[in-house]
Homo-oligomer: A and B are copies of this chain.
Amino acid sequence: RERRPAQVLFFPAPVTCVRPLLLSSPGHCRCGLSHRESALSCLTRLLISARRSLDVCVFTISSLELSSTVLAVHGRGVRVRVITDSDYMALAGSQVGTFRRAGIEVRHDQDTNYMHHKFALIDGLTLVTGSLNWSAQGIFGNKENVIIIENTDIVKAFVEEFGQLWNEYDPA
């Protein structure tokens, strides 16, 4: 596997449909929205490329686009783990309930401070991190950044952070 150079995506993204990217075989979508490339389609392509594991560690997860992507990855048999914030999890729009009903493992902090990270690890090799909460306002409204990075040391540090939080938030 060749290491890619670091890359940055800036948001807001134009409102486009990314549903065709989630299909296991190429399909045509007749929804009427634009299907052109955008920061959102880049992010979606990256997440859906997971083959072995997808570890998501995000303060907010309410975006239908990104939660559909996570569900599609899980549906392909990839191991998906989600860490999120307890305070925001309870709010309307959070997709945590949908994840759990689909059988995805979700853990969360237990205190009033925020689990404020916004990163994901694809196959433990590619890090996606930045300011972007996984919400419609984040994707389509705010000024946001996401960095895609495969630097070994940085990825290793985030893999360790994920593992540590995963254990810390074990409800058992």
Which A residues are within 8 Å of any B CB, using their own CB?
5-8, 10, 12, 59, 109, 113-119, 129-133, 137-138, 141-145, 147, 149, 151, 153-154, 157-158, 161, 165
User: Given that A151-B6, A161-B10 are known contacts, is A142 also in contact with B115, CB under 8 Å in the complex?
Assistant: yes
Given A109-B143, A113-B141; 14 other pairs, CB 8 A cutoff: A6-B149, A6-B154, A8-B154, A8-B157, A8-B158, A10-B157, A10-B161, A59-B131, A113-B137, A114-B141, A115-B143, A116-B144, A129-B147, A130-B131
A110 to B5, CA, bound (A): 34
> What are 5 A-B pairs at a CB distance below 8 A?
A113-B142, A113-B143, A117-B131, A117-B143, A129-B145
A162 to B116, CA, bound (A): 23
A132 cross-chain contacts in B, Cβ below 8 A: 116
A149 cross-chain contacts in B, Cβ below 8 A: 6, 147
B147 touches A154 (CB 8 A): yes
A23 CB to closest chain B CB (Å) equals: 31
- The chain B residue sitting closest to A10, CB to CB, is B161
A114 touches B129 (CB 8 A): no
A84 to B172, CA, bound (A): 41
- The chain B residue sitting closest to A148, CB to CB, is B154
- The chain B residue sitting closest to A168, CB to CB, is B143
B138 touches A116 (CB 8 A): yes
A112 CB to closest chain B CB (Å) equals: 8
A165 touches B145 (CB 8 A): no
A141 to B87, CA, bound (A): 14
